[in-house]
Amino acid sequence: MLTFQDIQKHPKILEFINQSEIALKALDYTEHGLRHAKLVAREAKNLAKQINLSERGQDLAAIAGFCHDMGNFLGRSQHHYWGALLFHQIFSAKGESASGEKNDFTPKELVWIMQAISNHDKDTMKLTEPISAIVVLADKSDVHRSRVTVESMEKIKNDIHDRVNYAVTMSDLKVNSVKKQIILTLKIDRNFVPVIEFFEIFTERMTYCRQAANYLGYKFHLVINNFKLL
């Protein structure tokens, strides 16, 4: 049975992630490479554990989180669909391929991972599986200055996405199982940007996080600089 440990060493997956990072860096996008993939995988597995998914469910959430952005090298606007199709192309056959690669996801597991990859960026479909909702939360919570790839401070200040990400010095996603809350806590350097700029670009993402948390049976809360805003 394929595990997250297998996937994070898979040469094709790693190359897709690497090429996606190169493509988006050329566009001066925030970081979408191995750092982001590992962080989202870790957060997804942690969320899955805290909401009591099975160990296999936790591993599948980590796999989907690790692979969610790997289609970006084929095009940014449809990258979530490209990523799902690439995953299917690699792992659709059961057993072992001619090259000796293991391909043993069950059909249902394959569908769950593909859904999570394709649903992570757009809320055009209703969430129907916990893994999809978990990946949304894990992905959208990665707001931090370490995602800024532009080196020029002048360029950072002139781009609102870079400017807001650079202003975030701490991002922490936690689950309160007793109160049934999923809480994203951010620290934003208000000397660099006013908090309102965060909402100019992240309101849609926070709304999607709320939808994802609601699907899981939790309330989503956003705390910025010790103030509860959602």
Of residues 161, 115, 120, 124, the one with CA closest to residue 138: 120
Taking residues 120-125, report their average pLDDT: 73
Q: Which of 18, 11, 136, 20 has the alpha carbon at shortest distance from 78? A: 20
Mean pLDDT of 76-84: 91
Give the pTM: 0.92
Residues in the chain, total: 230
Rounded CA separation 12/30 (Å)? 22
**What mean pLDDT value characterizes the chain?**
91
CA pair distance 166, 215, nearest whole angstrom: 31
**Cα–Cα dist 165/194, whole Å:** 12
Tokens of 168: 């975030």
Interval 162-181 mean pLDDT: 95
Beta bridge partners of 181: 176, 219
Residue 150: the pLDDT is 84
Confidence of residue 93 (pLDDT cuts 50, 70, 90): low
Q: Is 225 helix (H, G, I), strand (E, B) or coil?
A: coil
For the segment 28-47, the average pLDDT, to the nearest whole number, is: 95
pLDDT at 97: 47
Say which DSSP state 92 is in: -
Of 4-8, 62-66, 78-82, 151-155, the one with minimum mean pLDDT is 151-155
Q: Is 40 helix (H, G, I), strand (E, B) or coil?
A: helix
- Per-residue pLDDT averaged across 225-229, rounded? 91
Q: Which DSSP category does 74 fall into?
A: G
Query: Tokens 């000397």 — which residue?
Result: 191
Report the domain count for the chain.
1
Res. 101 pLDDT band, cuts 50 70 90: low
AA letter at 143? V
Q: Which band of pLDDT confidence, cut at 50, 70 and 90, is reported for residue 98? A: very low
User: Domain limits at 69?
Assistant: 4-228
Q: What percentage of residues in the chain have a pLDDT greater than 90?
A: 77
Structure token digits, residue 184: 């994203």
Q: In what order do the strands lie in the sheet with 181-188?
A: 168-176, 181-188, 219-224, 227-228
Report the pLDDT averaged over residues 11-20. 97
Q: Is the pLDDT of residue 95 over 60?
A: no
What proportion of the chain, given as a percentage, has pLDDT over 70? 94
Residue 27 backbone phi and psi in degrees, to 5: -90, 5
Residue 48: which CATH number? 1.10.3210.10
| Torsion over CA: 91, 96, 97, 99 (sign) | positive
